C-alpha cells in the first residue's frame, strides 16, 4: 500500500527538477526587472530621463498590481484556476510587457504616432518613458503573478519536506539573475545602448516561458497521481469570503507589514545603487555595477543554508528580526560615512551586510506564510502580501527619485548637459531607506510577540 501511495513529489530527483524549471524562469524575470538599473546616467543623457522619471519607471512595474488590483486577482485566479493556467498566463504577460518596454527604447519609436500622442501630455516625461511605463506595468503583472504561483508550487512539492531549503534555493537562483544583470547590462549597452540590454532581457524571458511550459507536464502528472482534476481545480473549497480571514489574521498583517518595509529598502535601492556607488567612490558606472553585483551573490550563497537551518532548527521570527537590524545598519553606513572616508573596502563590506539581511528575511518570511494560513487559500494569501508589498515598491522609487533631485538642486540639469564631474549626493535617500529598516525592526518584534501568543510555530522547524 505504501508503494501505491507514492507520487512524483516523493522522488527527490523529480522535486528538484521541478524546482529548477520554475526557478530558471524567475532567474530571467529578475534579470529583466533590473535590466536598466545600471544605466541611469545613460538614460539621462541619451533619452533625457530625469531622476524622477527613472524613479517612476521603477514604480511603474507595480502600477497595475496596486491600482487595478491585479495581484489580488492573481491570487484568486491561482486558487481557482490552478498552477498550470496561472504559470502560462504569467509567462505570456511578462513577455508581452517586456516587448513593449523594448519598443519604447528603439530608435524609430520617437517617429511613431504613438510617440506623438504620448508626448502631447505631461510633457516633462518623455514619450519613450511613458511607453516604457506601460510595458513595465504589464510585465509587473506577469512577474508578480509568477512569484506567488512559484511560491505555492514549492509548497505543493516540498511541504513537510525541505520547503525552506527549496524556497531558499529558488530565491538564490533568482538573485543570480540580479548578479547577471549588473555584470552584463553595461556590456550589452556598450554595443547598442539601453535598448540592446532590454532586447537581451526580452530574449531571456522567452527562454523562461519555455521552462514554465515544460514544468506544466510534471505538474499534470503529479495531479493525476494525487487524484485531482485534470484542469488543476483542486482548490474548489476556496471562497471569496476567505479573503476576510486573511486580512484579519494578526500574524499575516505583521508579516505583510514587515514585507513591505523590508523590500522597500531593497528593490528600490537596487535601482539607484549603481549611481550611488559611482558618485560616492568617484568611479565609472561599469565598475560600480560590478561592485554591486556582489550583493545578490552573497544573498544567493547564504539563502539556501538559512533555508536548511529553518527546516532543521526553526527560529524563523528571530531571523527576520536579525535581518531587519542588518538592513538598517547597512543603509546607515551608506548614508553617514563621509565620501572622503568611504572606500571600496567599506563599500564591499556594507554590500555583504546588506546581502546577509537579504538572505535572512525572505528565507524566513516566505516559508512562514503556510504556517499562518490554510492551504486552500494560500495562493490568495501570497497574492495579498505581494499586493501590500507592491504598494511600497510602486511609491518608494518615485519618492527616492524625488529625494535625489530635491537634495541635489541643479545637478540633474548638469548631468543631462554632459557636465563633467556632476554627480548626486545620496545621503537623504539612504536615510529614507534606513528609516524603513528601523520600522521593520519594530514590526519584527511585534511578529515575535504575535507568534508567541497565537502559536503559529514560526520558531519551530519546517521539516516534519
In a domain, 115, yes or no: yes
User: 464 lies in a domain?
Assistant: no
In a domain, residue 3? The reply is no
Query: Exposure string (b/e) for 383-400, b if CB count within 10 Å is 16 or more?
Result: bbbbbbbbbbbbbbbbbb
Q: How far is CA 150 from the centre of its chain?
A: 13
Residue range of the domain that includes 50 = 21-227+240-454
Q: Residue 60's Cα: distance from chain center in Å?
A: 14
Residue 283 lies in a domain: yes
Which candidate, 395, 431, 396, 426, places its Cα nearest to that of 408? Answer: 426
Mean pLDDT, contiguous 10-residue spans, the chain (464 residues):
66 93 95 89 88 88 88 85 94 97 92 92 92 96 93 89 87 88 90 92 97 94 74 51 82 93 92 91 89 82 85 90 96 94 94 91 86 81 86 90 92 83 91 97 95 90 73
pLDDT score at 238? 54
User: What CATH number did the domain enclosing 319 receive?
Assistant: 1.20.1250.20
Q: Does residue 367 contact residue 399 with C-beta atoms inside 8 Å?
A: no
Q: What is the pLDDT of residue 342?
A: 94
Residue 232 domain-assigned? no
Cα separation, 205 vs 211, whole angstroms = 10
Task: Write down how long the chain is.
Answer: 464
Cell 514590526, located at residue: 443
Provide the pLDDT for residue 271.
85
Residue 81: the pLDDT is 87
Closest CA to 119 of 30, 23, 48, 14: 48
The answer as to whether 44 is a domain residue is yes
What local confidence, expressed as pLDDT, does residue 236 receive? 47
4 inside domain? no
> What is the spatial distance between Cα 2 and Cα 324, in angstroms, rounded to a whole number?
44
* Whole-structure pTM value: 0.77
pLDDT recorded at residue 237: 55
Considering its fold, how many domains does the chain have in total? 1
Residue 324: name the closest of 294, 356, 348, 350 by CA. 356
Does residue 6 fall inside a structural domain? Answer: no
Pick the closest to residue 135 from 106, 94, 107 (CA basis).
94
d(CA 101, CA 199): 9
Closest listed residue to residue 457, CA positions, set 298, 317, 272: 317
Amino acid at each position: 500500500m505504501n508503494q501505491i501511495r507514492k507520487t512524483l513529489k516523493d522522488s527527490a530527483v523529480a522535486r528538484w527538477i521541478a524546482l529548477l524549471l520554475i526557478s530558471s524562469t524567475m532567474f530571467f524575470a529578475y534579470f529583466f526587472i533590473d535590466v536598466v538599473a545600471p544605466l541611469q546616467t545613460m538614460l539621462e543623457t541619451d533619452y533625457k530621463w530625469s531622476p524622477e522619471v527613472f524613479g517612476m519607471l521603477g514604480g511603474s512595474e507595480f502600477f497595475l498590481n496596486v491600482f487595478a488590483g491585479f495581484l489580488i486577482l492573481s491570487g484568486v485566479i491561482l486558487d481557482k484556476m490552478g498552477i498550470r493556467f496561472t504559470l502560462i498566463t504569467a509567462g505570456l504577460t511578462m513577455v508581452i510587457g517586456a516587448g513593449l518596454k523594448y519598443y519604447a527604447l528603439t530608435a524609430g519609436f520617437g517617429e511613431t504616432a504613438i510617440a506623438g500622442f504620448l508626448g502631447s501630455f505631461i510633457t516633462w516625461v518623455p514619450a519613450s518613458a511613458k511607453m516604457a511605463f506601460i510595458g513595465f506595468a504589464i510585465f509587473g503583472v506577469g512577474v508578480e503573478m509568477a512569484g506567488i504561483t512559484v511560491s505555492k508550487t514549492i509548497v505543493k512539492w516540498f511541504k513537510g519536506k525541505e520547503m525552506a531549503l527549496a524556497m531558499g534555493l529558488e530565491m538564490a537562483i533568482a538573485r543570480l539573475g540580479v548578479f547577471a544583470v549588473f555584470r552584463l547590462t553595461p556590456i550589452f549597452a556598450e554595443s547598442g545602448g539601453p535598448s540592446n540590454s532590454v532586447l537581451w532581457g526580452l530574449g531571456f524571458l522567452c527562454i523562461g516561458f519555455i521552462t514554465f511550459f515544460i514544468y506544466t507536464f510534471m505538474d499534470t502528472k503529479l495531479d493525476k497521481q494525487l487524484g485531482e482534476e485534470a484542469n488543476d481545480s483542486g482548490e474548489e473549497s476556496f471562497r471569496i469570503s476567505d479573503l476576510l480571514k486573511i486580512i484579519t489574521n494578526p500574524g499575516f498583517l505583521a508579516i505583510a507589514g514587515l514585507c513591505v518595509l523590508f523590500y522597500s529598502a531593497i528593490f528600490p535601492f537596487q535601482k539607484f545603487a549603481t549611481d550611488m556607488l559611482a558618485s560616492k567612490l568617484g568611479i565609472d558606472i561599469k565598475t560600480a555595477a560590478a561592485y554591486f553585483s556582489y550583493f545578490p551573490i552573497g544573498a544567493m550563497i547564504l539563502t539556501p543554508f538559512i533555508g536548511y537551518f529553518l527546516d532543521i532548527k526553526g527560529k524563523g521570527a528571530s531571523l527576520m528580526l536579525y535581518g531587519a537590524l542588518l538592513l538598517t545598519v547597512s543603509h546607515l553606513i551608506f548614508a553617514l560615512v563621509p565620501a572622503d572616508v568611504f572606500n571600496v573596502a567599506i563599500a564591499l563590506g556594507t554590500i555583504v551586510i546588506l546581502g546577509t539581511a537579504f538572505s535572512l528575511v525572505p528565507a524566513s518570511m516566505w516559508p512562514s506564510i503556510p504556517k499562518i494560513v490554510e492551504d486552500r487559500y494560500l495562493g490568495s494569501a501570497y497574492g495579498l502580501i505581494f499586493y501590500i508589498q507592491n504598494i511600497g515598491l510602486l511609491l518608494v522609487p518615485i519618492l527616492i527619485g524625488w529625494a535625489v533631485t530635491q537634495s541635489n538642486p541643479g545637478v540633474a540639469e548638469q548631468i543631462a548637459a554632459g557636465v563633467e564631474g556632476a554627480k548626486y549626493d545620496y545621503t537623504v535617500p539612504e536615510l529614507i531607506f534606513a528609516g524603513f529598516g528601523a520600522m521593520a525592526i519594530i514590526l519584527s518584534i511585534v511578529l515575535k510577540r504575535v507568534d508567541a501568543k497565537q502559536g503559529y510555530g514560526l520558531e519551530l522547524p519546517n521539516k516534519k
